[in-house]
Structure 1
Amino acid sequence: MQKVILVGKPNVGKSSLFNRLARERIAITSDVAGTTRDTNKTQIQIYDKSCILIDSGGLDDSSELFRNVKIKTLDEAKNADIIIYMVDAKFMPSDEDKELFYSLSGLNLPIALVINKVDSKKDEARAWEFISFGAKDVFHISVSHATGVDELVQWIHKHLKTNLIKPDDGNDDFDDFLENFDDDGELSKSENYEDKNIRVGIVGRVNVGKSSLLNALVKDSRAVVSDVAGTTIDPVNEIYEHDGRIYEFVDTAGIRRRGKIDGIERYALNRTQKVLEKTDIALLVLDSSEPLSELDERIAGVASKFELGMIIVLNKWDKSKIEFDELCKDIRYRFKFLAYAPIISVSALGGKRVHKLYDLILSVYRNFTQKLQTSKLNEAINEATKTHPLPHDKGRSVKIYYAVQFGFAPPRIALIMNRPRALHFSYKRYLANKLRDSFELSGVPLVFVPKKRGENSDESSENE
């Protein structure tokens, strides 16, 4: 798929244009120069064509960190198909901008000079000064006022090849689940998960090595790595193919203790949570060279609320002084709610054992999207209730008549009962453990929805 990259100096409005073209607030925008430090990618549709839109870090030499950002941005531009070079109409043209534009023009790619923040007649007059760039395709726009953007979109469309996007219909709700069953009473998958991209979010506190892990997974210096805590602010997207499967990795901003979250990082925390809403599998990255912290537990708790497949990654294993079994025991004790998550040790900087993550991610994803055989599911439930009967509710017996899976990613199971409100969360946990003995469910939460026979109203559900 073709790539369209937005480049320019800091604070010219690249992220604002990125969000407008994506029709979603993906990139963080602020008046602070250098807010975007990594390239951010998303798939968008322009009329009947699709492409990968890239929001790059600002071209700045003011510090070592930003020089690294600049190098990465220029490397991304060389691998793009269409370049949009943005400048700020509030300032006169600079020699640095002109040199950078000439350099990118030499790549022989379609390139447009986009003059942003043309909000007044004075801005319009100043914008004409950029004629000295000698650009063939020039657009005067104001992203904040949504003027001039349509002409730019038409220009992009003209240079794109036809590549239609297939709509994502999603899963049906429980109220419509009966329509998803075949003639044999088995749930039919409403989506072909074998053909879908696997969406993987990388989460953890600051400086545990999330960006290094992303770089090692995609075998490229994809994310800016620095000893400066909080280097990653925007989520960093990367689409990567491995053994015929497409993976969409997102390196999220590191999370600090609440008292240390301020300014842009508060937006980053909110954006991390939005990333998790669209993720299939979360890689919870822990620093194995340091003791586990309360913040690690809180982050794990946040991730678990999104009903994701989960893998615990012990990074910096080459620096760890703790035995693997001992650390796993501590994790299982602290993260009881993630008892289903497999644990793997890696060294992202050295690339050790990182390749094993792909097999593990694929295995968890298949568990995450699997269809449980109805007869086997009910055998396991019946065996569980015989071994440990349900507690009575105010002297009345509580029964599970049958169980049926009504959704995927993760497996969602309706328990048809006589007294659904009497099902205690501890018994759901017991049932989940019994099902894990009968099915391959490593890395996957189970969602139980107790229902009364013939009832369509929603009941509370719980992950196990």
Structure 2
Amino acid sequence: MSFTLVIVGRPNVGKSTLFNRLVGRKLALVDDQPGVTRDLREGDARLGPLRFTVMDSAGLESATDDSLQGRMRRLTEQAVDMADVCLFMIDARVGVTPADEIFADILRKKGAHVILAANKAEGRAGESGLLEAFSLGLGEPIRLSAEHGEGMGELLEELMPFAEAAEKKIEETLPELDVDVSDDDEFDDTVSAPTADKPLQIAIVGRPNAGKSTLINKILGQERLLTGPEAGITRDAISVRTDWNETPMRIFDTAGMRKRAKIQDKLEKLSVSDGLRAVKFAEVVVVLLDVEIPFEQQDLRIADLAEREGRAVVVAVNKWDIEDEKQEKLKQLRADFERLLPQLRGAPLVTVSAKTGRGLERLHDAIMRAYGVWNRRVPTAALNRWLVGMLEQHPPPAPQGRRIKMRYMTQVKTRPPAFVVMTSHPDVVPSSYSRYLVNGLREGFDMPGTPIRLYLRDQGDKNPYKDRKKKQPSRLKKHIGKGDR
């Protein structure tokens, strides 16, 4: 058990820069443009001996209505209520603003544990702002420079009491739970079952306004991610952890991906790049489509990207609640899926409604099924019996008169399944024959939809005496008679 720290403040005071420093990598997008962060982003922080959870929040806005800024503010206030301690940041170079005073008053009324920090205080430029911060009535401010790492020691001192309180809670809880913590649990990297320490990594991807954030909120059972009618609300890949039907998962909400030609804004380019990284780190990618405009070119590109990255893929069609001709539409969707994405033939296609929650059980089952296939390992003996049958049913061609002999096959890895076939002349095996083998693997070993990697390797020559010159007998041996030997 550790404590949770949430970083709050006006837009562009350096919250995301400090968040990235505490987690040790660039998880949050950082840009000079204010208001880049809109959702709550969590990370595992490390500061000296302390390990804790840190949350980056949207810049506090003065709006209180149902506008985008108003919804962002409510989400940040929700984070303050959830956290053990709040780090309230101001810009020391700008000084205390009326908005800072309003938010300081809100934090005092909430009774939250607040640490005040004056960021960008390096050099003389921040001296006056640092002094002004005393007027907020939140105690003595920490002098910080998130960009250069100054003031981290002072922050560590302020956080120590919260770490000690969390440790005390552990000591009070352990006797009741009768837990032996003498040895840490070890987890084998080869074990594929999701655990609390190794949750199943899922990325939800799709075009803008497909309903990704709404779907994740419905899975979580709370308004954890910012949603609304505006397209492109999510700007970076936000991860949330949950136990969905008793399965530990980390779910990544990604920014909507538009066609490359339409992406002109620098921030949108960063957002899409962040989403692509989420796909690479995911184990299962859920491609979310809009039932009114499914399988657009961008949807196909996104699904193809997930397949090329070797991820398990599930296609989910959202907004199913507004579809009237459900049976006819489902039949059409399945036909289009088979025709437009043959490389994902057999992958799960499920219909959901992020608004009502219908179909979430089907989606969970489809994710677990795809994850299981992605981890499947086939015994070598079974593979080679299967290979003999495939060769008898359809022998390899003999391009340019060169006979191809496939002698042996084995699986070299999972996640995704990868196989090696030892063969003569691998360089001339037609791609159509490789596809024949891949499709046969899908059918023969029940691996629908998952990416399959097939590698053809030269079997080499097992005769160690080939190409070795025959040794000539010595002249002396030629003249020795049999009786003298």
Bucket of the pairwise TM-score, normalised by the shorter protein: 0.7 to 0.9
- 2:467 is aligned to none
Within-5 A mapping of 1:191-206: 191-195=191-195, 196-206=198-208
| Number of residue pairs aligned between Structure 1 and Structure 2 | 436
Once residues 415 and 54 of structure 2 are traced to their aligned partners in structure 1, the CA distance between those partners, rounded to angstroms, is 27
- 1:266 is aligned to 269
Once residues 90 and 454 of structure 2 are traced to their aligned partners in structure 1, the CA distance between those partners, rounded to angstroms, is 53
Within-5 A mapping of 1:62-461: 62=63, 64-105=67-108, 110-136=113-139, 138-153=141-156, 155-156=158-159, 159-160=162-163, 161=166, 190-195=190-195, 196-263=198-265, 264-320=267-323, 321=325, 323-453=329-459
C-alpha displacement at 1:78, in angstroms?
A: 0.9
Cα–Cα, structure 1 residues 380 and 3, in superposed 2: closer, same or farther, change >3 Å? farther
Cα–Cα, structure 1 residues 150 and 408, in superposed 2: closer, same or farther, change >3 Å? farther
What code does the residue aligned with 1:295 have? Q
SS at 2:43's partner residue?
A: strand
SS at 2:401's partner residue?
A: coil
Once residues 417 and 81 of structure 1 are traced to their aligned partners in structure 2, the CA distance between those partners, rounded to angstroms, is 62
C-alpha displacement at 1:99, in angstroms?
A: 4.1
Cα–Cα, structure 1 residues 145 and 194, in superposed 2: closer, same or farther, change >3 Å? closer
Q: Is the 8 A contact 2:294 2:317 kept in 1?
A: no
What code does the residue aligned with 1:243 have? N
More displaced, 57-66 or 5-14? Answer: 57-66
Q: Is the 8 A contact 1:19 1:27 kept in 2?
A: yes
C-alpha displacement at 1:348, in angstroms?
A: 0.7
C-alpha displacement at 1:101, in angstroms?
A: 3.3
What code does the residue aligned with 2:33 have? V
- 1:15 is aligned to 16
Instruction: Report the TM-score when normalising by structure 1.
Output: 0.86
Larger CA Rg, structure 1 vs 2: 2
Cα–Cα, structure 1 residues 106 and 271, in superposed 2: closer, same or farther, change >3 Å? same
Cα–Cα, structure 1 residues 11 and 285, in superposed 2: closer, same or farther, change >3 Å? same
Once residues 201 and 253 of structure 1 are traced to their aligned partners in structure 2, the CA distance between those partners, rounded to angstroms, is 11
User: Among the aligned pairs, what percent are the same residue?
Assistant: 28
C-alpha displacement at 1:137, in angstroms?
A: 6.2
Q: Is the 8 A contact 1:111 1:137 kept in 2?
A: no
Q: Is the 8 A contact 1:47 1:157 kept in 2?
A: no
Deviations 1:411-447 (A, max 9, x none): 2222233333334333232222212223232342112
Cα–Cα, structure 1 residues 77 and 446, in superposed 2: closer, same or farther, change >3 Å? same
- 2:35 is aligned to 34
What code does the residue aligned with 2:317 have? L
Structure with more of its chain in helix, by fraction = 2
Once residues 455 and 186 of structure 2 are traced to their aligned partners in structure 1, the CA distance between those partners, rounded to angstroms, is 25
Cα–Cα, structure 1 residues 126 and 194, in superposed 2: closer, same or farther, change >3 Å? closer
Once residues 81 and 414 of structure 1 are traced to their aligned partners in structure 2, the CA distance between those partners, rounded to angstroms, is 53
Cα–Cα, structure 1 residues 443 and 45, in superposed 2: closer, same or farther, change >3 Å? farther
What code does the residue aligned with 1:233 have? R
SS at 2:21's partner residue?
A: helix
C-alpha displacement at 1:80, in angstroms?
A: 1.6
Q: Is the 8 A contact 1:310 1:341 kept in 2?
A: yes
- More RCO (CA 8 Å, sep 6+): 1
Deviations 1:192-228 (A, max 9, x none): 5443211110111111111111111111112211211
What code does the residue aligned with 1:70 have? R
SS at 1:348's partner residue?
A: coil
C-alpha displacement at 1:158, in angstroms?
A: 5.5
Q: Is the 8 A contact 2:288 2:315 kept in 1?
A: yes
C-alpha displacement at 1:167, in angstroms?
A: 12
C-alpha displacement at 1:108, in angstroms?
A: 5.6
C-alpha displacement at 1:379, in angstroms?
A: 2.2
SS at 1:323's partner residue?
A: helix
C-alpha displacement at 1:102, in angstroms?
A: 4.5
Deviations 1:150-192 (A, max 9, x none): 442464466335699x99999xxxxxxxxxxxxxxxxxx7345
Once residues 453 and 156 of structure 1 are traced to their aligned partners in structure 2, the CA distance between those partners, rounded to angstroms, is 62
Alignment RMSD, CA only? 2.7
What code does the residue aligned with 2:445 have? F
Instruction: Report the TM-score when normalising by structure 2.
Output: 0.83
SS at 2:360's partner residue?
A: coil
C-alpha displacement at 1:70, in angstroms?
A: 0.8
Q: Is the 8 A contact 1:289 1:317 kept in 2?
A: no
What code does the residue aligned with 1:379 have? R
Q: Is the 8 A contact 1:6 1:84 kept in 2?
A: yes
C-alpha displacement at 1:308, in angstroms?
A: 0.4
Cα–Cα, structure 1 residues 415 and 145, in superposed 2: closer, same or farther, change >3 Å? same
C-alpha displacement at 1:270, in angstroms?
A: 0.9
Q: Is the 8 A contact 1:217 1:355 kept in 2?
A: no
Q: Is the 8 A contact 1:40 1:234 kept in 2?
A: no
What code does the residue aligned with 2:25 have? E
Cα–Cα, structure 1 residues 245 and 157, in superposed 2: closer, same or farther, change >3 Å? farther
Cα–Cα, structure 1 residues 91 and 286, in superposed 2: closer, same or farther, change >3 Å? same
C-alpha displacement at 1:312, in angstroms?
A: 0.3
SS at 1:38's partner residue?
A: coil
Deviations 1:267-296 (A, max 9, x none): 111111111111101110111122532222
Once residues 205 and 294 of structure 2 are traced to their aligned partners in structure 1, the CA distance between those partners, rounded to angstroms, is 18
Once residues 76 and 362 of structure 2 are traced to their aligned partners in structure 1, the CA distance between those partners, rounded to angstroms, is 30
Once residues 295 and 363 of structure 2 are traced to their aligned partners in structure 1, the CA distance between those partners, rounded to angstroms, is 22
Deviations 1:102-161 (A, max 9, x none): 443565654321211113213123212111233346321112222223442464466335
More displaced, 9-18 or 333-342? Answer: 333-342
